[in-house]
A and B are shown apart, each in its own frame.
Chain A
């Protein structure tokens, strides 16, 4: 059997990608214009400005973490010495190639928010306010501009560098078959770099970074589960994105070695981590609901009972009930149509999850304490812009390197994979 190793980007694919990017750009410009015209008190103006930046923050952070989850998939399976994913390993590799560019965009947005003088998103950037706020004053050692910047730059740099290194190692054996000894050394080298990446991942995505980027929007409130919950959210969306690309390539007659057995395993991941996400979501929710302490329930008041309750409960249904019931059957995990539908739904559902994480904080008027829901159409259009960017970069990377890591020692394990 001859393998089609070289992916050529279909013309329509890039057209769609550029159209989506254009739509996103238009939405950003439109949103900027609508939020920066018109009068009102300084507080109202600041909230409108915050609405613009919060939209960029939500989309960039969400899609950065989703594409970064692809590299987590590679390193986690590498560390576990898994072989089943080898036949489509180049797909998550290509998706993770979006991390550097997404990092740059996210860094620009975060720095603009922290140093831009708008305090409606990150209240702790207002040094005058922090002096009179005992809670924020107490958290000053963690929530300050210097630490935030250093941590963000370090994190984004390490994700980009270690991800690049993992991709380099993978591509380095494309032209040369390995002997058994070389293969063992190669696996060891992979394992060492993968564990380094995972260490950084555990210290960032699974602990500190969501606290800094997202949880500090509601700076008075804290939850130790928050980072896990954010991680679960982006991880299941990342798996869905990988599944989408596998299906896309299969439909275009690539990835001959990948079959429904591999898709079945991806479906199991989507099913299992949807349930895992719900478990974390509920663990966070129930403790706060049970204790019923005002300083903790402030987070859920605008979300579960306030103006965001529609989005809040809808995303719970999309992210839990739908995967639970629709992905439970074996046949649905092996069906291309169901898997495509569920992958799209899960990516959208967790985008909604991020929406309700980010917006209630900045959209609350500090004087009247009234929370409002912005027009979600703009945010959705900006999200499509980011999707276009990810599509373009992923397609480009896929077409530049062979689709099969054919000299990898574990490739046979993937070819004979059977669930």
Chain B
């Protein structure tokens, strides 16, 4: 077998070489160490020496030709020893990965906090260099939102939003009938912070709490009569009791009697609250972004109608004006949502965790009723409880409504 003479690598960087001159002719006898050829490398002109003895039998690369290292350039006949094997050097360096860089207008931790608190960073003017949104900016928004809305409710479940979906006073009233501009175009608007919280929390409530509803109607005439009387008497002192104020008191008193309605589901326990704090849903004006918050009337069972009324009015005004503080929104144990003033007769509400129940109140409507054997026009109000079945069973709900009915229909007890 002929011995292959290959283009040698004669320097550490040599990839190919030029055969300048053959020192041997075909047929010459070659001894190990003999110079076979001159090779021009990238660095110098070098001698190619034979490693073996033999007869120079064939020239495969002519003088002047440039060939890559490892290519056979001549053959040596004889059986002495073969030169072989041209393993290619291992080369497995992977290209380094370039990380992407994007312009930084928000600090990383601010971005993370915004995500956590559901803050829309597009609405924020950053206070860092070149308007970079920084941690402080996010925390300020969170603090402000806590005062004006329930946006910061993530850490305090009691601050959760009341689940009414309706947007009163808005639909169809302020918009012209005739389409103008892009009114009819499909469009998307980013969620406000409050809207994001509402979306998140109510989905959570509806998905995790086994809701069911129980509805009852109440004869409102005795209560409306008493309200009329009382409001006349209280007019000089500027107090005007609303139907809702009565309902707050009724619900609170009924809760003292039915502790399950003043309780929360605690996973492996039911947590019974001491204070009876009744939440009232307050719709916010559209010009301020809409949405709603729940104001907390603390110790409602201990408060007189007058006190409840004053507190309720104060919370409503403040919520619509400059926003409620966290204190004013927290720790409710039951919520009342009233759409009666909009003429709604009946609806259901989504529980405001960690409450176990919410009462959806419609309007007191005139109805033919039989009273003392005679058909007369009376006022009837329908209210629907949404309940957490993990805490309150149907019969319990019925008994609570019965107590509520007794109170509403015999309102003198409310004055005691």
* A and B found bound together: no
